[in-house]
């Protein structure tokens, strides 16, 4: 707290000095020429007033929870005993208690966000996206208390890392304003061993942090800030990026190479194989009749659809779709009831951008490559 106040005071003094200097230069420029009466011009006295900085009303600035920094070294992990946060240019990572976070975690998140922006050609903090306050996710903390509730964080992405103490079976999820992660690999060993459902089922925990999950959820956040997509399109692009980001980073980052090697990337089955005749019908139906337990085909279909669009129509395929949806102000809430007319409109957009035969070409491409044929 003291540090923040001191920094603000310093800034206000520097600003005051800058202002004074410009006034001084201004006065010199306009100095009258000396007259024969020799009425000497005297420099005006510089007025300096120290104003008290305004007291911030942002709950973030008066929070008792501290900002922490990591040193970037994977082996130098930190276990949180109290709520705390890590702040970057594009994100703020909000850490629960009892989380063990490796020293390179924030750097990896930054690489993932940069890669998403670069591959999709969109910004994670677009000008069009409004400033946010942190949502109330108190249900995730068991006590009904959310230490970050109401924090004003501008356009930064709120990245929650939570521990599932009860446990309730939380799963990672995301929307345009935030991404929430419940990743067992980040639970401290002490926390893990204190919960029988976890301790007695060690298979639930990988021996690596699955950064493809982070790429998947953060893709939801970044795309959600830029355009509104159908279920197939949104899960598809997130699933595609879950692989594509890790693959792109694997060459320079051994942590990503480990995920690429160890993760099981197999796709599950789909209700009907995809070919030229039914590719558009399936896209329009958006797998809307599947129950929550049957979820999966929209991920596989969508992932292959985006892969096809990138490979056949260029690396700007997503940004083209996104720009078109933005221009037409398309808004679709895929959590609401299925809307066939809206899905048909999405199909029309793809045909307009990539040609009337885009779906039949996609179907043929799937058959040829043996994708979506199980």
Task: Report the interface residues with Zn ion, using CB under 5 A.
Answer: 235, 238
Closest distance of CB 240 from Zn ion, Å: 11
User: Which C-beta is closer to Zn ion: that of 178 or that of 235?
Assistant: 235
CA–CA–CA angle 238, 157, 69 (5° rounding)? 115
Closest distance of CB 253 from Zn ion, Å: 23
Closest distance of CB 235 from Zn ion, Å: 5
Among residues 264, 260, 181, 267, the alpha carbon closest in space to that of 218 is found at 181
Among residues 201, 156, 199, 160, the alpha carbon closest in space to that of 183 is found at 160
The residue of the chain with the least Cβ separation from Zn ion equals: 238
- Rounded to an integer, what distance in angstroms lies between the CA atom of residue 220 and that of residue 278? 27
User: Which C-beta is closer to Zn ion: that of 192 or that of 301?
Assistant: 301
User: Which C-beta is closer to Zn ion: that of 93 or that of 229?
Assistant: 229
User: Which C-beta is closer to Zn ion: that of 85 or that of 334?
Assistant: 334
Q: Residues near 224 by Cβ (< 8 Å), separated by ≥ 6?
A: 174, 175, 176, 234
Q: What are phi and psi of 233, to 5 degrees?
A: -65, -40
User: Which C-beta is closer to Zn ion: that of 174 or that of 191?
Assistant: 174
Closest distance of CB 322 from Zn ion, Å: 17
User: Which C-beta is closer to Zn ion: that of 98 or that of 235?
Assistant: 235
Closest distance of CB 173 from Zn ion, Å: 7
* Residue 11 CB neighbours (<10 A): 11
3 state SS of 40: coil
- Rounded to an integer, what distance in angstroms lies between the CA atom of residue 176 and that of residue 190? 33
Q: What is the DSSP string of 244-270?
A: HHHHHHHTT-HHHHHHHHHS-------
- Rounded to an integer, what distance in angstroms lies between the CA atom of residue 66 and that of residue 136? 19
Is residue 273 within 8 Å of 373, Cβ to Cβ? yes
What's the full length of the chain, in residues? 374
**Residue matched to tokens 């922490």:** 68
Closest distance of CB 301 from Zn ion, Å: 14
User: Which C-beta is closer to Zn ion: that of 80 or that of 212?
Assistant: 212
Lookup: tokens for 228? 């509104």
User: Which C-beta is closer to Zn ion: that of 80 or that of 124?
Assistant: 124
Lookup: tokens for 50? 């120290």
Closest distance of CB 171 from Zn ion, Å: 10
Closest distance of CB 238 from Zn ion, Å: 4
**Parallel, antiparallel, or unpaired: how do β-strands 152-154 and 132-133 relate?**
antiparallel
């Amino acid at each position: 707290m003291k540090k923040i106040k001191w920094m603000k005071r310093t800034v206000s003094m520097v600003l005051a000095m800058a202002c004074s200097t410009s006034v001084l230069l201004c006065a010199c420029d306009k100095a009258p020429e000396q007259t024969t009466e020799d009425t000497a011009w005297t420099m005006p006295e510089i007025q300096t007033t120290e104003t008290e900085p305004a007291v911030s009303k942002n709950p973030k600035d008066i929070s008792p929870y501290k900002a922490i920094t990591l040193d970037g070294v994977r082996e130098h992990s930190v276990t949180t005993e109290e709520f705390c946060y890590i702040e970057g240019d594009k994100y703020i990572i909000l850490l629960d208690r009892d989380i063990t976070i490796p020293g390179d975690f924030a750097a990896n998140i930054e690489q993932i966000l940069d890669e998403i922006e670069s591959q999709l050609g969109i910004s994670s903090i677009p000008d069009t996206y409004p400033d946010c306050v942190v949502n109330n996710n108190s249900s995730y903390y068991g006590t009904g208390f959310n230490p970050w509730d109401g924090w004003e964080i501008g356009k930064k992405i709120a990245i929650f890392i939570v521990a599932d103490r009860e446990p309730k079976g939380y799963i990672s999820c995301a929307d345009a304003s935030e991404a929430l992660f419940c990743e067992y690999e980040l639970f401290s060993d002490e926390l893990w061993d204190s919960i029988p459902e976890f301790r007695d089922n060690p298979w639930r925990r990988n021996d690596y942090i699955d950064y493809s999950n982070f790429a998947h959820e953060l893709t939801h956040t970044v795309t959600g800030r830029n355009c509104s997509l159908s279920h197939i399109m949104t899960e598809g692009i997130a699933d595609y990026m879950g692989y594509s980001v890790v693959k792109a980073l694997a060459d320079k980052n051994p942590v990503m190479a480990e995920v690429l090697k160890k993760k099981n990337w197999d796709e599950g089955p789909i209700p009907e194989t995809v070919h030229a005749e039914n590719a558009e019908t399936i896209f329009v139906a958006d797998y809307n009749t599947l129950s929550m337990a049957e979820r999966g085909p929209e991920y596989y279909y969508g992932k292959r659809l985006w892969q096809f669009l990138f490979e056949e129509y260029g690396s700007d395929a997503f940004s083209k779709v996104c720009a078109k949806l933005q221009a037409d102000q398309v808004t679709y809430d895929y959590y609401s009831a299925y809307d066939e007319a809206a899905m048909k409109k999405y199909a029309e957009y793809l045909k307009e951008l990539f040609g009337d035969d885009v779906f039949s070409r996609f179907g043929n491409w799937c058959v040829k490559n043996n994708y979506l044929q199980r």
